[in-house]
Amino acid sequence: MRKNIQYFYKLCLVLIVIGLINIWCICWPISAQPINDNARNKQVINSIKLETEKLLQPIPKQQQNCLKKQKYCKMGNSIFPFYRATNYLFWSDFFQDSRLNKFGNAKTKTWLSGDLHVDNFGTFDNDEGEVIFDLNDFDESVIADYQYDLWRLATSIILASNENNLLDQSQQAEVIDNLSESYLDTLASYTGNDDEKKIYFTNSNTNKHLKKLLKKAQEKTRQDLLNKWTKIDQNNQRKFDLSSEKLALPCAIKEQIKYQILVYSQPIAKKLDYQNNFFQVKDIARRLNAGLGSLGTPRYSVLIEGKTDQLDDDLILDIKRQSKPI
């Protein structure tokens, strides 16, 4: 029992740092420093151009140019946004690192986030209606060696803390050491049981900065979200508010989305004891200018019925195309 408590508090320490970095990254962007290796610069620039053009290829040319400018401006703002936007460079570089084979093998592959960094943690409601702090971005999930996630997260902690002057080198080393130990200890503690399904982080079992972040998130209600993105039309039906610059009419695949929601919902509704019309689609809108590395990826907001036919318990789903793993 004491060991489990130690694992829990080690993990809490790491998550508190991640939460604190998450807050500071939003508030205090720092200018990036140039890289002096000309050959490396050329390779990086070519990779960025290639990946960006591949991502934006289905989009009309005029929109492509606008999104490129927007994306490159965000990437150039500081080192950490650049790191976020170039996951493909991380995978390409790390694939050739000798330490990958030293600490892993064919048996150390598992489901990964695929893009694990401090900005991909956040707050959201779970199925019990609790506000929790956890991973919140899975569109690059893939089965691969565990080290890709662990090294990418550790690197992001160093970069973000450097930019925001949060930790000195000795503190960074302590956090990364705690992260590594907690990762291994937690894996060991899950052996032979289902504890990984029981542990999650809420306002009641966290402290300091993470607790403050969760309390703030709890103040935001589902009604606030509905009021932000939707409106009630003249027929007393809730629809997306297309006056928002971040929403637009869906394209021709609207019916395909409806069908896929139906297919997706059938096993989920049965497993979670939802009513048959819980996933009934009420409206669909394209989501614009969202993300950084995925900026330009087809993304949609889908309004569904929810538990009852009352307007105030409608739900908004975020649907995002998952690219082929690198």
CA distance 68 to 246: 17
Residue 10 DSSP class: H
Cα–Cα distance measured from residue 61 to residue 48, given in angstroms and rounded to the nearest whole number? 18
Q: What is the pLDDT of residue 274?
A: 73
* Rounded Cα distance, 266 and 278, in Å: 10
pTM, rounded to two decimals: 0.78
Tens digit of pLDDT for each residue in 172-194? 999 999 999 999 899 889 989 99
Mean pLDDT of 260-288: 84
Mean pLDDT value across residues 22-42:
58
pLDDT above 70 covers a percentage of the chain that reads 87
State how beta strands 109-112 and 142-145 pair: antiparallel
Instruction: Domain ranges for the chain, please list them.
Output: 2-32+76-218, 222-320
Q: Is the pLDDT of residue 307 over 90?
A: no
pLDDT digits (tens, 9 = 90+) for 98-114: 888 888 998 999 999 99
Place of tokens 């297919």: 263
